[in-house]
C-alpha cells in the first residue's frame, strides 16, 4: 500500500529503512508513477549549516507527525501564491521582491 495519500508536505516523516526523520519539503512524481519526497533534517550540521534535502520513495515513509510545519497559503494554488512561480514556471511579475 502506498503512503502517497498519507504523507503531505509539512509532515514530519521517518524513512523505515535508514531511520532518517525530517520534514517533507518537496514531492516529485515520475512518469512511471514513482513518488518521492524530499526530507529536510530539522537539525543543523556540526558547522551550524542547513543540511541538504534527502529524497526517499513514498512507500518506505511513515508519518511521525501530521502538519509539523504549517504551510502558508496551502489552499491557494501554487501559481497564485504571492512568491510562487507563474503559470509557465517563471517568477510572477507582480510578486513581491
Per residue, the 3-state secondary structure of 2-65, as one string, reads CCCCCCCCCCEEEECCCCCEEEEEEEEECCCCCEEEEEECCCCCCCCCCCCCEEEEHHHEEEEE
Residue 1 falls within a domain, yes or no?
no
Residue 94 falls within a domain, yes or no?
no
> What's the confidence (pLDDT) of residue 71?
81
Q: Residue 70 belongs to what domain range?
A: 12-80
Provide the pLDDT confidence category of residue 26 given band limits of 50, 70 and 90.
Answer: very high
Instruction: Quick: pLDDT tens for 46-95.
Output: 999 999 999 999 999 999 999 999 887 777 776 676 665 554 455 555 55
Residue 16 falls within a domain, yes or no?
yes
Residue 63 falls within a domain, yes or no?
yes
CA distances from 66 to 5, 6, 97 (A): 12, 9, 31
In this structure, are strands 61-65 and 35-40 parallel, antiparallel, or unpaired?
A: unpaired
Residue 31 falls within a domain, yes or no?
yes
Q: Are 23 and 7 in contact, with CB atoms under 8 Å apart?
A: no
Residue 87 falls within a domain, yes or no?
no
Cell for 70?
A: 504549517
> Grid cell 501530521 — which residue?
66
Domain count, the chain: 1
For the chain, give the number of residues. Answer: 97
Residue 2 falls within a domain, yes or no?
no
CATH code, domain carrying 28: 2.30.30
> What's the confidence (pLDDT) of residue 70?
86
Amino acid at each position: 500500500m502506498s503512503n502517497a495519500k498519507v504523507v503531505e508536505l509539512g509532515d514530519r516523516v521517518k524513512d523505515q529503512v535508514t531511520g532518517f526523520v525530517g520534514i517533507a519539503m518537496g514531492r516529485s512524481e515520475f512518469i512511471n508513477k514513482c513518488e518521492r519526497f524530499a526530507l529536510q533534517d530539522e537539525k543543523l550540521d556540526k558547522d551550524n549549516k542547513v543540511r541538504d534535502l534527502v529524497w526517499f520513495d513514498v512507500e518506505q515513509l511513515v508519518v511521525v507527525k501530521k502538519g509539523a510545519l504549517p504551510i502558508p497559503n496551502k489552499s491557494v494554488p501554487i501559481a497564485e501564491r504571492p512568491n510562487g512561480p507563474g503559470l509557465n514556471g517563471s517568477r510572477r511579475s507582480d510578486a513581491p521582491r
